[in-house]
Structure 1
Amino acid sequence: MENPTDTFRAAMRRHVTGVTVVTTRLDGRAWGMTVSAFTSVCLEPPTVLACLRRTTAAAAEILRTGRFGVSLLAEDQGEISRRCAAPGAPKFLDDVCGAAPTHSPVVDGAVVGFDCVLVRSAELGDHVALFGEVAAVVAGPTPGAHPLLYTDGDYLSLPPRTAA
């Protein structure tokens, strides 16, 4: 008989999602981790939701400081996603998070970044859900840039845009 956790994991791998990196400052340095659970919650006030494994250094630091960033990676940033997803590896991002105009670091070249103030958290299973009010939106450098997409264990690219 198949394990229900494995069945659920296999089913969720079929979901197409934008690749996001949740960031914080750890020991004064930019630190990030790739997350697959990220979405907007409401517009008034602008609020997002990100879910992180509860035992990570990032989750502990965000719960301690009450601040976090979210970067929606661009389609050419797969290496950053892989680095921030590597279990047990250091995830310092000083080389890809420049002088941010916001409190929380955001990834340079991302499609968009959000600087968030933690307004609520909820633990469920091995994860913590972070609800963040968006204090600032950092537009990416390339208007109309495609986001990095992920499904079934691999990255996807959208076809080039054509003029209408």
Structure 2
Amino acid sequence: MSEAAPLMVRFTVNGRSVEVDAAGDVPLLAVLRGDLGLTGSRFGCGLEQCGACMVLVDGAPAYACSRPAWSVADRSVATIEDVGRDPVLAALKQAFLDEQAGQCGYCLSGIVMSARALLAREPSPDRAAVVAALDRHLCRCGVHNRIVRAVQRAAAHLAAEGAAA
């Protein structure tokens, strides 16, 4: 059995250009966590069933656990670590804290990234829109209502501040 040949993958992550060697079948999540030290995105199931690994690829939510690293070549990836640079992620973080919308927190990085994408396309989502956007996520702590309130709170804060998503 032979190993896959290394593949040079260039992409932007959190506004920074990176170049990594990754075999063609290495998941993006392994590159983010192992090669780049961005450990905020979590490995949950590896089957696109829980959303703990969710990142944004060119602004759209994407599962990093099953997506091959080569698929983001010349694209932009955002992870939860972008919170310091992104005012919308910062507003979401504060709203999640204010609503106490997390217990163990394992799922939250993926949920926040999906919420970020939602606010980019719909700055004032109603409850149904938030629930639909977060439907791909599994939280076993039972804080779903607080999570929905947190997303709506962040949206209201951003609207009051006049911040563009």
State the TM-score, normalizing by the size of structure 2.
0.27
State the TM-score, normalizing by the size of structure 1.
0.27
- Identify, as 1 or 2, the structure richer in strand: 1
Between 1 and 2, higher relative CO (CA 8 Å, sep ≥ 6) is seen in 1
- Identify, as 1 or 2, the structure richer in helix: 2
